[in-house]
Amino acid sequence: MNSATLAKGLSPTRVVLDNGIVILAQESRGTPAVAVNATFHAGSVDDPPALPGVAYLTRRTIDRGTVQRSATDIADALDDRGVSLRVAVARHTFTISCVCLTEDFSDILALVADIGRHPMFPEEEIDKRRLEAITSVREAQDDPSRVAVDLVHAQLYGASHPYGRPIKGTVGSLEAIGREHLVGFHNRYLVPSALRLAVAGDVSPSTVLACSARVFEGWRGFDRPQEPVAPPPSRTGRSFRAKHMPGKSQADIGYGFTSVRRLDPRYNAYWIMNNVLGQFGLGGRLADNIRERQGMAYYAYSTMESTEAEGPLVIRAGVDPNDVERAIEAIDAEVQALRDGGPTIDELEDTREALIGSIPRMFETNESIAEFLQHAEQFGLGLDYDRRLPALIRAVTMDDVREAARGVLDPGRAAVAVAGPRP
């Protein structure tokens, strides 16, 4: 395997260790660097319902001391090698990742494994990172774009659904989380059977496997039964929430629906539909209308998060407070038009070609290769997914996309939110 092979697509190696850890390795010799991505199948959906933010505070604290290494030791190991360790939590994933020089790979993999296996969660570190987390929550409360999206999510899912709870938690919940919650989260969810390690870069798969076998040897943990996330509550009408934020210059609009699960057979049709609505050509039909024709906004686009349950499809635009009504009318018009008429033949063909053509760009960096491998593993899409994807995209018909538009786009069931100053 060499770099020339990568030009034709990925050819990853996949091995499952005895303790259930999945190892994915893709060699790529472009730069003398390696991306390491250790993702546990655990996330904010595993937070106790009354205590959102446990996974998030775990993410902020897990790399601040292990049984063998103090926080200072870890800082030395990272900073001396120029490595910036990222720990991230999403609804279903908990990821420890970084990029390192090839010469540092085995040391850094050992460090990542140690952090995943033996975190100590020292009380003084919890207090420091709690304060950072609270500051981050307060900053989000002051950001109209994040407030608008949070208000959409709250309307779509409600507080009782795991997707309706804030990933970062609240100031109150963060203050109430103690060391026992973090230790409990680690013991219960960050276990070997939930771990997938993806390594991409200037290192051979055999080296990755040998190093992995060494650093994960002897790690045992209980299997956690995977509890499927319930579907979101069904929506019968349109809803609206506003947050007045004086002192801001611009108002942010959020406008959303729930879409389909990633493994729903309709997923690719929804993907194409969303691309037409709010992605193609720097913002799709939404940007054509709101930005290009009406000059109302710098950004107008839609994103669709398809994951293990029905994730949100959210339209966003930032506009002058005087233009809020006009912008929402424009969104309603575009949503209704795509629902009623579907895409044009040209739009469908352009989008198909754009998505197929964009596949090699997913592998531009070692980090993006590792992320692609994680996504394919999370949803069981197969080691050849990048090669099968063009045919899957071509198989989506006009009727499929029209049905997707009719299935999700309905102004009468939209969750609408505005955050910003009054006109």
Partner 1 sequence: MPALDVLTTVGEVREVWLDNGLKILIKELHTTPLVSVFSWYRVGSGDEPSGLTGVSHWVEHMNFKGTAQIPRDRMKGIVEKSGGMWNGYTWIDQTTYLETASSAALDQMLFLEAQRMSASLFERHECEAERTVIISELQGGENDPEQLLDIEVTATALRVHPYGHPTLGWLQDLQSMTRDDLYGHYRRYYVPRNATLVVVGNVDADDVVRRVERHFGQIPGGEIARHNRPEEPSQLGERRVMLEREGTTSYLKLAYPAPAARDAGFFPLLVLDAVLTGAKGLSLWCAFRGAPPQRKSRLYTSLVDQGLASMVSGAVLPTIDPFLYTLSMTAADGVPLEALEEAALGQLEDVMRHGVTDVEVARAKRQLRARLVFENDSVTNVAHQLGYFETVGGAGYFEEVEDRIASVTVQQVVEAAKHRLNPMRRTVGWFRPTGLRP
Residues 364-403 contacting partner 1, CB under 8 A: 364-367
d(CA 332, CA 286): 10
Nearer to partner 1, 116 or 283 (CB): 283
Q: Quick check: 322 binds partner 1 (CB under 8 A)? A: no
φ, ψ of residue 101 in degrees (nearest 5): -70, 150
Site string for partner 1, 330-359 (x = CB under 8 A): --------------------x--xxxxxxx
Burial class of 135 by CB neighbour count within 10 A (0 to 12, 13 to 18, 19+): exposed
- Cα Rg of the chain, angstroms: 23
What is the smallest separation between the CB atom of 320 and partner 1, expressed in angstroms? 7
Nearer to partner 1, 145 or 155 (CB): 145
Nearer to partner 1, 174 or 309 (CB): 174
Question: Which two structure tokens, joined as six digits, stand for 299?
Answer: 């950004």
Question: Which residues from 36-65 bind partner 1, rule CB under 8 A?
Answer: none
Q: Quick check: 292 binds partner 1 (CB under 8 A)? A: yes
Burial class of 207 by CB neighbour count within 10 A (0 to 12, 13 to 18, 19+): middle
d(CA 359, CA 368): 11
Figure out which of the listed residues 70, 136, 170, 207 binds partner 1, where binding follows CB under 8 A. 136
- Cβ-contact 108, 46 below 8 angstroms: no
d(CA 60, CA 323): 39
What is the smallest separation between the CB atom of 324 and partner 1, expressed in angstroms? 12
Count of residues near partner 1 by CB under 8 A: 77
φ, ψ of residue 81 in degrees (nearest 5): -105, 5
Figure out which of the listed residues 225, 228, 237, 246 binds partner 1, where binding follows CB under 8 A. 246
d(CA 330, CA 336): 10
d(CA 63, CA 258): 34
What is the smallest separation between the CB atom of 49 and partner 1, expressed in angstroms? 22
Nearer to partner 1, 73 or 410 (CB): 73
Site string for partner 1, 271-290 (x = CB under 8 A): ---------xxx--------
Figure out which of the listed residues 56, 121, 363, 372 binds partner 1, where binding follows CB under 8 A. 363
Question: Which residues from 83-122 bind partner 1, rule CB under 8 A?
Answer: 83-84, 86, 99-101
Figure out which of the listed residues 134, 203, 276, 338 binds partner 1, where binding follows CB under 8 A. 134
CB atoms within 10 A of CB 286: 27
- By CB under 8 A, which span of 23-31, 41-49, 180-188, 406-414 interacts with partner 1? 23-31
- By CB under 8 A, which span of 153-161, 219-227, 318-326, 334-342 interacts with partner 1? 318-326
What is the smallest separation between the CB atom of 259 and partner 1, expressed in angstroms? 22
Figure out which of the listed residues 68, 135, 204, 344 binds partner 1, where binding follows CB under 8 A. 135
- By CB under 8 A, which span of 17-25, 112-120, 138-146, 260-268 interacts with partner 1? 138-146
Figure out which of the listed residues 53, 119, 144, 205 binds partner 1, where binding follows CB under 8 A. 144
Query: 13 in helix, strand or coil?
Result: strand
Count CA within 13 A, CB hemisphere, residue 172: 3
- Cα angle: 388, vertex 24, 310; to 5 degrees: 60
Q: Quick check: 423 binds partner 1 (CB under 8 A)? A: no
Query: 280 in helix, strand or coil?
Result: helix
Nearer to partner 1, 22 or 177 (CB): 177
φ, ψ of residue 46 in degrees (nearest 5): -90, 0
Question: Which two structure tokens, joined as six digits, stand for 118?
Answer: 């033996």
Question: Which two structure tokens, joined as six digits, stand for 415?
Answer: 């969750």
Figure out which of the listed residues 295, 345, 380, 391 binds partner 1, where binding follows CB under 8 A. 295
Nearer to partner 1, 257 or 280 (CB): 280
Nearer to partner 1, 106 or 145 (CB): 145
Q: Quick check: 139 binds partner 1 (CB under 8 A)? A: yes
d(CA 7, CA 202): 15
Q: What is the dihedral of CA 75, 78, 80, 82, to 10 degrees?
A: -130
Figure out which of the listed residues 158, 231, 341, 360 binds partner 1, where binding follows CB under 8 A. 360
Q: How long, in residues, is the chain?
A: 423
Query: 14 in helix, strand or coil?
Result: strand
Residue in the block written with tokens 């993999």: 109
d(CA 409, CA 331): 11
- By CB under 8 A, which span of 45-53, 125-133, 206-214, 223-231 interacts with partner 1? 125-133
Figure out which of the listed residues 20, 238, 241, 320 binds partner 1, where binding follows CB under 8 A. 320
Question: Which residues from 249-268 bind partner 1, rule CB under 8 A?
Answer: 249-250, 252
